[in-house]
Amino acid sequence: MDLIEVTNVSKTFGKGAAAAKVLNNVSLNVAQGEFVSLMGASGSGKSTLLYLIGGLDRDLEGSIKVCGKDITKMKERDLSRLRLETTGFIFQFYNLVQNLSVEDNILLPELTKGRSRAELKKDLDEILEITGLSDKRKSMPNELSGGQQQRTAIARAVIASPQLILADEATGNLDSVSGTEIMNLFLRINREKNITILQVTHSEECAAYGTRTVRLANGQIM
Amino acid sequence: MRKNQRVISLFTALALTAGLLCGCASGESSETSAPAPEKHETADLSAIRAQDDFYGYINAQRLADTLPAYGEMMWGTYNEVEDQTVEEVFGLIAEIASSDENYEAGSPEYLIRSVYDQAMAFDDNAAVYSEVLCLCDRINGVRSIGELAALWKELYRSYGANTPFQPVVRQDYFKAGQYSLIIDQNKGFCGSAFEDISDSADDCVSMKKYITDMLMSTGCGKDTAESKAADAVRLSLDIAHATDFSAGKVSNPFAAFDFVSEEDMNGIFSNLDTSVIKLFFGLEENPYGGWYVKDRGQLEKINELMTDENLESWKTILISELVTANIDFLSSEADSLSAYGSGEEKEYAVCMKIASKLFYNELSGLYAERYYTPEMDKAIREMCEQLRESYRELIGNADWLTEEGRAALLAKLENMQFILPDAAVTPADPDSAEVIKNSYPETIRAIREDSYDDSIKNIGAEFDMTRPGMANFEVNACYNPNNTVTITAAIMHAPFFDPKADTGTNLGGLGDMIGHEMGHGFDTTCMDCNEKGEYAPDWLCDADRQAFAQRAKNMQKYFSTFTVLDIYHVDGEKTSGENYADLGSMECIVNILKDDREQLKKYFENLACINAETRVDSYAIEALETDEHSPGKVRVNALLSCCDEFYEIYDVKEGDTVKVTFGADGFLPSVRELRVRAATLTDYENSNGMTLVMSEKMFKEIYKDKPLNVFISCSDPEAAAKVIRDHSADMVSGIQTREEYREEVRQNSSSMMVIIDAVIALALGVTFIGVVSNCLIGFEGRKRECAVLMSTSLSREKLSKMFLTESAIASGAALAAALPLQAFLYRVFVSVLDGLMITIPVHISGAGSAVLAVIMWAVFTLSALFPIKALRKMNIAVQLKYE
């Protein structure tokens, strides 16, 4: 069984004459441990597909299964639980909570699940070490560079040991050096922790880090 | 004099009616009416009459020619005598310094001359500078907080560097005759008060600049010094925000301290342990089992910050304190300190240091030997016993106290000890000579260490009850809660005391000072101390305590009617203790002189003379908040207004005119000149508004039409109303029972109440709209944050619950804040209505308020449903995708 099974998914924005179909009968399977890059021109629907897989957007036709569960038929509450337990998100603009420190941003998902800081200390130290943020743990997001903020976002996504990471143009806002650092980090996480990664990117270089590249054009997989 | 001011109250309407019904007022006007005097007119000082303003009558001419010196806030009789005393003290030091006499080693003269000579000869500040730099290196080399604490104690003992804790060994207020360990509130670091920096960004900047200068003087670069100073200011601000500034201002010394046991202290010092505190007290074991702590919150915050993480900031503070404590030596050695030199002449600075810091007690003894003669001693001791005898008589006749209460107060009076100037004279101690070292800085260090060690030696020792409360060269006297009165030699100068002066004059000066301090033994604070001087509020029975509290309340109300600069009222509550002491003294002395009009007159005159003062206007206003004493003018006029003997002496009799301010504490005070028709016997404690009789015409001018209404409250109001109608119907226009009156007021005010209700409803509606708008606008700003939370950690349901919780807490907090605001606005509202002579019954029921509060809390909490609804519609992907 694949970790992600997308079957005949279509997505339309707007209604009536203004309707625009951005995904048209898309099917895609991703196995556990894969590192898949989604590429395509702007407006080709790659980010939309990513958010549909992540359950952040539920307005679609077709079916999407994550970890064997059809998320299109799940109740909001169950979907939230599944998402929090299995999926980590990384966005182009980091989306850190600005008034929390690096450490608190990273711990946020687990603390809200009711785990204590003491329980999380070992995991936190490990992920800070992996992401190279050990000396920035008390810093606030606005004191960090873009690369450091993105590494914080990655640490936040990884600390809960998700099965899947969905990354939407994670290097899109970074210079080439920081971008390379992030991609190497993805690679390490994918290999060492066997976390499946599905990334959206415009960059062939970034896509080359993945095990497979899927290209979208006009709402369909090429 | 405003004799009748005290009798004006809300009950005046009843008073007039009572007067009318009793036939005490004739149909003729008994007063003349005059408009309020023009402000700022040039006063004819010679025209001030004793009965109108006795203080001005005695002092106006003298004060008119005198202004406070440039830069000073006030000038007065006390300042005049202080100037004289400073000259005497400096003269004494100069005389000792220049004497060829072979003083005994360890005698005060030997110590003073040795230090004076060393100080005047010393010119090697560079050596001290280099020593301080070595100490700074030691501070910078410290690697842990524990190590820093140990070094800090050493520098505190030897170099005077202030510590984060304020360890004090002082008499135990709760157990007579023993010492206690006190950790006082820390007021600030590096010369900056926590209260100032917590209030003002400018003061934070000044503090940073000061610390930067101190650090730069030790060789630190400007950028590094500024960075370290900023960290130290931040740490200071953390402590400032945890400091309870009200605790530092409590006038009652007993209320400010909590006893914290050894075990509790371990709880406070979780980061360190109590050994740090013991270290500063030089203790291994605490014989008292605990400490008196003034501000527990501040101590907890200091502990919280006493971590290795903040080590550098603490080092910065210690270095700054060290440089500050030794700045006299260092200001010439470093550019960054050049602005901090005192700029005083060297000889003046040395004399000041000897008098105020180095040999305060020794100089006090020498001053007494020089200026306190056996003749004075005899006269003062007689005066003290004369005053005690008078107090004895007054307390014995105090029928407002129970017999048990009178016995208790008399026992306290008998136990009261007078500590006269000669108590400061101590024999030479050869061991004291050891503090004189080879150089001035070494001697200073030895004196500091000796002073610290002496203080520590007191731990576990018996407290010396005969120890003077202040030095003999201070123009003052004081009452210590341990039931002792210290009288200094400096206060025995004329006009306070002159062996050749009359009894009345001396009683008006020094007698009043001593009587005042004795009065403190029975004032609003020290009345809680028993005959041994121990804090024990239950030592008097409930009946006595209640009677005392009622008298204190009357007195506070009375003094609150007095003003400075026409409109700023004296704070009767704040000045309560001092006013009580003043009144006690006045009653005591009048009781002594009551049969001798000539001496009584001299007493009144000198009382006014010693209280003469001029104040800069801004300080006169500020002092109403900061000074526990009433202004000099009030201390004279308010007192004598209560004294029937004064009116006899100054011949205020039937037919005279007096000025009365009606509604002095209201919004529309009205000054009237009234003619005295009859003398009555009242005092400030019994003033109840029943003594002022005036014509209907004038009363109507001031209080409108109210006086002719009679309100009846008794077991059979209808019968009483009938009696009045039958016998006095032509003297009143309205007779009402309480119920009738209430009904009338209710009807008259119903339309006003409709308007008020409408305003309240409108205000609630507008508030609700505001709250909802605020929620929605706030949500717009938090959309992205919500989307992040939903993508990483929270379900929509949990987030909605969070909104509700947040709203519930915010609404609860707002309501909690609204309650005191409501109480305040209620008082303002009622005052305004009173001022406008509008009577509207305003009833606030506790249960009704609680129900309203719960409903409002629920409604405002539910306002969170609006952002929750918006959350449901929010597209998470859109929020996360774009910046």
The string of DSSP letters for B327-340 reads: HHHHTTT-GGGGGG
| A198 DSSP β-pair partners | A36, A166
B contacts of A168 (beta carbons < 8 Å): 880-881
- B636-679 pLDDT, tens digit each: 999 998 888 888 888 666 777 766 666 554 445 667 777 776 65
Q: What is the gyration radius of the CA atoms in chain B, in angstroms? A: 34
Structure tokens at B248: 């530092």
What is the structure's pLDDT at B686?
41
Closest CB to A47 among B787, B792, B881 = B881
For the residues of B101-159, what is the DSSP string, one character each?
--PPTTSHHHHHHHHHHHHHH---HHHHHHHHHHHHHHHHT--SHHHHHHHHHHHHHHH
CB-hemisphere CA count at 13 Å for B296? 13
Rounded CA separation B292/A29 (Å)? 73
- For chain B, the domains span 1-23+31-51+654-690, 53-83+373-419+463-651, 751-881
Closest CB to B793 among A51, A93, A108 = A108
Rounded CA separation B485/B378 (Å)? 17
CATH of B53-83+373-419+463-651 given 3.40.390.10, 2.40.50.140, 1.10.3720.10, 3.40.630.10? 3.40.390.10
- In this structure, the number of other CB atoms found within 10 A of the CB of residue B89 comes to 25
**Chain B closest CA to A128's CA: distance in Å?**
18
Rounded CA separation B69/B824 (Å)? 41
Contact A95 B796 (CB under 8 A): no
A contacts of B789 (beta carbons < 8 Å): 97, 108, 112
Contact B326, B122 (CB under 8 A): no
Question: Where residue B24 falls among pLDDT bands split at 50, 70, 90?
Answer: very low
Closest CA in chain A for residue B791: A89
Closest CA in chain A for residue B872: A76
Contact B217, B323 (CB under 8 A): yes
Structure tokens at B130: 């280099």
Structure tokens at A177: 């050096």
Instruction: Say which amino acid occupies B527.
Output: M
Contact B66, B75 (CB under 8 A): yes
Rounded CA separation B651/B165 (Å)? 60
pLDDT of B205 higher than 90: yes
Q: Specify the range with the lowest mean pLDDT, choosing from B423-427, B638-642, B707-711.
A: B707-711
Structure tokens at B629: 């004493």
pLDDT of B196 higher than 50: yes
- A79-121 pLDDT, tens digit each: 888 888 889 888 888 888 888 999 999 998 888 878 899 999 9
Question: Where residue B719 falls among pLDDT bands split at 50, 70, 90?
Answer: confident
Q: What is the 3-state secondary structure (H, E, C) of B11-30?
A: CHHHHHHHHHHHCCCCCCCC
Mutation to test the A interface, candidates B307, B784, B785, B788, most A Cβ within 10 Å: B788
What is the structure's pLDDT at B41?
42
Number of helices (H), then strands (E), in chain A = 7, 10
What is the structure's pLDDT at A21?
87
Rounded CA separation B619/B74 (Å)? 8
Contact A96 B788 (CB under 8 A): yes
Rounded CA separation B108/B113 (Å)? 9
- B485-499 pLDDT, tens digit each: 999 999 999 999 999
Q: Specify the range with the lowest mean pLDDT, choosing from A86-95, B39-48, B850-859.
A: B39-48
ipTM: 0.84
Rounded CA separation B303/B320 (Å)? 20
pLDDT of B25 higher than 60: no
> Taking an 8 Å Cβ-Cβ cutoff, which residues of chain B contact chain A?
784-785, 787-798, 875-877, 880-883
Identify the CA nearest to A38 among candidates A178, A162, A219: A219
Closest CA in chain A for residue B883: A93
Contact A168 B881 (CB under 8 A): yes
Identify the CA nearest to B688 among candidates B1, B18, B51: B18
Instruction: Say which amino acid occupies A202.
Output: H
What is the structure's pLDDT at B850?
83
Q: What is the average per-residue pLDDT within B78-100?
A: 93
SS3 content of chain A, % helix, strand, coil (to 5): 40, 25, 35
- Residue-wise burial string across B690-705, b where 16 or more C-beta atoms lie within 10 A, e elsewhere: bbbbbbbebbeebbee
Instruction: Say which amino acid occupies B352.
Output: M
pLDDT of A193 higher than 80: yes
Closest CA in chain A for residue B792: A109
The SS3 of residue B862 is: helix
User: What sign does the CA torsion over B700, B706, B710, B715 have?
Assistant: negative
Distance of CA B20 to the CA centre of its chain: 45
What number of residues does chain B have? Answer: 883
More confident residue, A77 or B577: B577
Structure tokens at B613: 């003062």
Q: What is the average per-residue pLDDT within B88-104?
A: 93
Q: What percent of chain B has pLDDT over 90?
A: 39
What is the structure's pLDDT at B707?
43
Domain A34-60+86-221 class?
alpha beta
Contact B174, B463 (CB under 8 A): no
Contact B792 A156 (CB under 8 A): yes
Question: Where residue A57 falls among pLDDT bands split at 50, 70, 90?
Answer: confident
The two beta strands, B568-569 and B563-564, are antiparallel
Closest CB to B793 among A54, A96, A112 = A112
What is the structure's pLDDT at B828?
85
Rounded CA separation B270/A92 (Å)? 44
Q: What is the average per-residue pLDDT within B77-90?
A: 93
What is the structure's pLDDT at B6?
27
Question: Where residue B423 falls among pLDDT bands split at 50, 70, 90?
Answer: very high
Contact A95 B784 (CB under 8 A): yes
Rounded CA separation B654/B661 (Å)? 19
Identify the CA nearest to B876 among candidates B762, B794, B777, B759: B794
- A21-50 pLDDT, tens digit each: 889 999 999 999 999 999 988 888 888 999
φ and ψ at residue B658, rounded to 5 degrees? -135, 155
Rounded CA separation B833/B797 (Å)? 51
What is the structure's pLDDT at B139?
95
Asked if residue B717 has a cis previous peptide bond (ω within 30° of 0), the answer is no
Rounded CA separation B769/B765 (Å)? 6
φ and ψ at residue B498, rounded to 5 degrees? -145, 120
What is the structure's pLDDT at B774?
87
> Taking an 8 Å Cβ-Cβ cutoff, which residues of chain A contact chain B?
47-48, 51, 54, 56-57, 76-77, 80-81, 83-84, 88-89, 91-93, 95-97, 108-113, 156-157, 168
Rounded CA separation B215/B156 (Å)? 18
Q: What is the average per-residue pLDDT within A64-78?
A: 89
What number of residues does chain A have? Answer: 222
- B545-564 pLDDT, tens digit each: 999 988 888 899 889 888 88
For the residues of B148-179, what is the DSSP string, one character each?
HHHHHHHHHHHH----SSEEEEEE-SSSTTBE
Q: What is the average per-residue pLDDT within B673-701?
A: 57
Closest CA in chain B for residue A159: B792
Helix segments in B508-596, DSSP class H: 512-520, 542-560, 576-593
Sheet-wide strand order for B290-293: B166-171, B179-184, B290-293, B258-261
What contacts B623, CB < 8 A, 6 or more positions away?
B615, B631
DSSP label at residue A164:
E
Question: Where residue B739 falls among pLDDT bands split at 50, 70, 90?
Answer: confident
Q: What percent of chain B has pLDDT over 70?
A: 84
- B797-834 pLDDT, tens digit each: 888 998 999 999 988 998 888 888 888 888 888 778 77
Q: Using alpha carbons only, what angle is made at residue B148 by residues B142 and B153, rounded to the nearest 5 degrees?
A: 135
E strands present in B172-286: 179-184, 188-189, 192-193, 258-261
What is the structure's pLDDT at B493?
94
A contacts of B784 (beta carbons < 8 Å): 95
Helix segments in B731-843, DSSP class H: 738-792, 796-835
